[in-house]
Structure 1
Amino acid sequence: MPIRVLVVDDSNFFQHRLQGMIGEHPDLQVVGIAANGREAIAKAEQLNPDIITMDYEMPVLDGVSAVREIMARRPVPILMFSSLTYEGARTTLNALEAGAVDFMPKDFAEVSRGSTALKKKLHERLIAIARRQGRPGAARGPAREATASARETAAVAVARESKSLKNRISLVVIGASTGGPVALTEVLTQLPADFPAALALVQHMPANFTRAFAERLNKQCAIEVREACDGDRLAPGTALLAPGGRQLLFKRRDRGAVRVHPGDDRLNYKPSVDISFASAADVYGDRVLAVVLTGMGADGCEGARLLKAKGATVWSQDEASSLIYGMPMAVARARLSDLVLGLKDVGPRLTREL
């Protein structure tokens, strides 16, 4: 049975292009289209979709308000479409706070030419989120594979995590992708202002989004959070967020400083968790604690392998609390996790261990 999608957008052009792209996948079916937030609320109740794509700026009722009301009436996974502007990023973060699970940039150029990469990303995102949320009509498949293996790995990881981390960790590096903004907010808001280690955050996000996200986190958290700039210095109780479209590295010659640079265009992710983990392993060795949170794919797994080779500590989020159990599953299945934790336990455990 195909995954039922409700498309919400006030642009006729975007409605039809999105409907066409989604309809090209045999496991996806567009069951309705809404032109504003008020219509979206009514059709969500009438059509009972498995997932909704939602524009953020619409007449009658905006996307954020629609998300809030839909989640209050009958929760359903919602994927936001956002402009690539700073204001668009702020609105999208409001939507995630209201209950949307993830977002994609609204790039009219890519939509107009029917970008193959965009279609692939859209199909993967819709299917993974719908399946993971366990909606009626959402088929079970790869998103659930290796559950038993992951649980076995978790048990092994918990059993071997015993060495004390107090006074041993200089740097905590946290990587995330799909579902990451909500997960990072959950973790970081639980840390005290006098958290004893420096933090580096790598979240898959486009440029402009990371600046808005860092500003929001800084207002919500007791620790200081800011978007990293080349030459910034790491400090206890401060988190530097890797800028969208660039890579975050750690300087060997000027220890305690970070390097921000464009990186190789052939890399799938900018920023990349693997790149930052590898750099942390090279500079800080066993004084690193790496944490892999929710996300599609396996970014972070190879970097975690390099960290483990240097004696560093690696934690990963568990399946039950992950929006998408891809990145943390890759680390757990490779038996690189010293500890597998539920999302709500990560912040308190960081505070207690360090």
Structure 2
Amino acid sequence: MIRVLVVDDSAFMRTALATMLAADPDIEVVGTASNGAEALEMVQRLDPDVVTMDVEMPVMDGITAVRRIMAEAPRPILMVSSLTREGAEETLAAMDAGAVDFIPKALSRVSLEIVHIEAELRAKVKAVARRRASKVSAAPRPAPAPGLRTKGVELIAIGVSTGGPPAVQRILAALPAHFPAPILIAQHMPRAFTGPFAQRLDATSALTVREAEDGMALAPGLVLVAPGGLHLRVRRQGLRLHAEVGQEPQDALYKPSATELIASVARTCADRAAALVMTGMGSDGLEGARQLKTAGGVVLAQSEATCTVYGMPKAVVDAGIADAVVDLEAIAETLMQLGGCPGRESQRGRNHG
């Protein structure tokens, strides 16, 4: 049984979230709190497996509460966030403070359409709770993956979902401004979140990070984040690579889709490309990675020990198509190795226009 604490200053939201969670036979709601101070006390007293956390609350806000819980009694925390730019920025700040992921809630002028998040809420609670229960203890190895080729790749694609924002931020912050290849990212995230996410990555990295727009020319040191609700692909025009952003296929389970991105990289760059499949539920990215592997490209998977949810990388590993399984701490060095980068130069923070 997964024990959950629900934290929200709205009595309606507390009831709605608790009701949806309690309807699952594997989940028990052990308590509800109306602010961060109450949440901190109840975490200590009830020891829940997972906490769902609102952002804006009286007495103690959600970001402060996350920081306190992770310092004093760490456990998985899911933010429940409004689908606005302000909500996105606050949620990303909460993830910087230690929250593992978020659940978007849709707000309208007349109602709170919270029921639409029910399936995602339950799935994420179960996924992050399993992570806490497993307590994977393998020591991470901060070294690049052995045995990979060192010739420069032309392009790197990253597919990532639950737990991805802080992990991606950590990787990009460790790459130098002179990184020799463009990087494209398909992060499962709503439309309102991908722009602020790109801006946060841009502010914390020496690389130039932008939300992708159709037709953008790719260049070394440029990172493009797929817009939420759209697919990001690559096309070649003469000797140049360009971003392609669009709706098709509209029936894809995820938009953006890691498989759509990686498959387009396989078609365009073949053995001159690499893909990294990172933390997340499900198996998005698997079929794209399979195509890239067939085309002669390099496929990397994040290690179980360093994933928030070992789903997407596990699918790649279980299929036998991962060239290397890499700890989060070693991913930046491994990407530099694949790009033929001459060596790390610590250039964190903004040093680009």
The superposition leaves residues 89-127 of structure 1 with CA deviations (integer Å, 9 ceiling, x where unpaired) of 000000000011110101257964734xx3222111101
Q: Is the 8 A contact 1:192 1:222 kept in 2?
A: yes
Alignment correspondent of 2:303: 318
**Distance across 1 between alignment mates of 2:331 and 2:62:** 31
Alpha carbons 2:158, 2:185 under 8 Å: kept:
yes
One-letter code of the match for 2:173?
T
1:305 matched to 2:304? The reply is no
Q: Distance in 1 between the 2:195 and 2:247 partners?
A: 16
Counterpart of 1:82 in structure 2: which amino acid?
A: S
- SS of alignment partner, residue 231 of structure 1: coil
Whole-angstrom CA distance in 2 between matches of 1:114 and 1:262: 25
Give the Cα separation in 2 of the matches to 1:294 and 1:16.
30
Distance 1:67 1:210 in 2: 22
Letter in 1 for 2:77: I
Secondary structure, aligned partner of 2:267:
helix
The normalised TM-score by structure 1 is 0.89
CA shift digits 1:296-349 (9 cap, x unpaired): 000000000111111111011111111100000000110110011111000012
Aligned AA (1:185):
Q
Look up the equivalent residue of 2:60 and give its one-letter code: L
SS of 2:191 mapped into structure 1: coil
Give the conservation status (yes or no) of the 8 Å contact 1:86–1:208: yes
Identity %: 47
1:59 positional shift: 1.3
Q: Aligned pair 1:195/2:179, yes or no?
A: yes
Q: CA deviation at 1:163?
A: 5.2
CA distance in 1, matches of 2:224, 2:5: 37
Residue of structure 1 in register with 2:102 after alignment:
103
- Contact kept in structure 1, 2:234 and 2:241, CA below 8 Å: yes
Q: Secondary structure at the match of 1:173?
A: strand
Shift of 1:271: 0.3
With over 3 angstroms needed to count, the CA separation of the structure-2 counterparts of 1:39 and 1:163, relative to structure 1, is closer
**Helix, strand or coil: the match of 1:320?**
helix
Return the alpha-carbon distance in structure 1 between the equivalents of residues 253 and 211 of structure 2.
Answer: 21
Tell me how far 1:352 sits from its aligned partner: 2.9
Displacement of 1:249: 1.1
Partner of 1:129: 128
State yes or no: 1:70 paired with 2:69: yes
> 2:203 matched to 1:214?
no
Is 2:73 the counterpart of 1:89?
no
Task: Answer yes or no: is the 8 Å Cα contact 1:243–1:271 preserved in 2.
Answer: yes
SS class of match (1:256) = strand
Structure 2 residue aligned with 1:272: 257
Kindly indicate whether the alpha-carbon contact (under 8 Å) linking 2:150 and 2:337 is maintained by their aligned counterparts in 1. no
2-structure distance, mates of 1:248, 1:23: 37
Query: Displacement, 1:222?
Result: 1.0
Residue 32 of structure 1 and its aligned partner are, at CA, apart by 0.5
- Give the match's secondary structure for 1:15: helix
Residue deviations 1:254-303 (CA, integer Å, cap 9, x gap): 54111111223321101000000111111111111101111000000000
Shift of 1:353: 3.4
CA distance 1:248–1:346, shift in 2 (3 Å): same
Counterpart residue number, 2:166: 182
Report runs of 4+ in structure 1 exceeding 6 Å deviation.
none
Q: Does 1:244 align with 2:244?
A: no
Q: For this pair of structures, how many residues does the alignment match?
A: 328
What is aligned with 1:50? 49
What residue in structure 1 maps to residue 20 of structure 2? 21
CA contact (8 A) 1:295 1:324 kept: yes
| SS in structure 1 of the partner of residue 305 of structure 2 | coil
Contact between 1:316 and 1:328, CA under 8 Å: does it hold in 2?
yes
Q: CA deviation at 1:128?
A: 1.0
User: Does 2:241 match 1:256?
Assistant: yes
User: Is the 1:17–1:111 Cα contact (8 Å) retained in structure 2?
Assistant: no
Using a 3 Å threshold, how does the CA distance of structure 1 residues 292 and 113 change in structure 2: closer, same or farther? closer
Q: Give unpaired runs (5+ residues) of structure 1.
A: 135-139, 145-157
In the aligned structure 2, how far is the partner of 1:318 from the partner of 1:193? 26
Secondary structure at the counterpart of residue 223 of structure 2: strand
- Confirm or deny that 1:162 pairs with 2:147: yes
Q: Are residues 1:173 and 2:171 paired? A: no
CA distance in 2, matches of 1:82, 1:236: 34
Q: Counterpart in 2 of 1:114?
A: 115
Q: Distance in 2 between matches of 1:268 and 1:24?
A: 25
Higher percent of residues as helix: 1
For structure 2, the 5+ residue unaligned runs are 137-144, 340-353
Name the Cα RMSD after superposition. 1.8
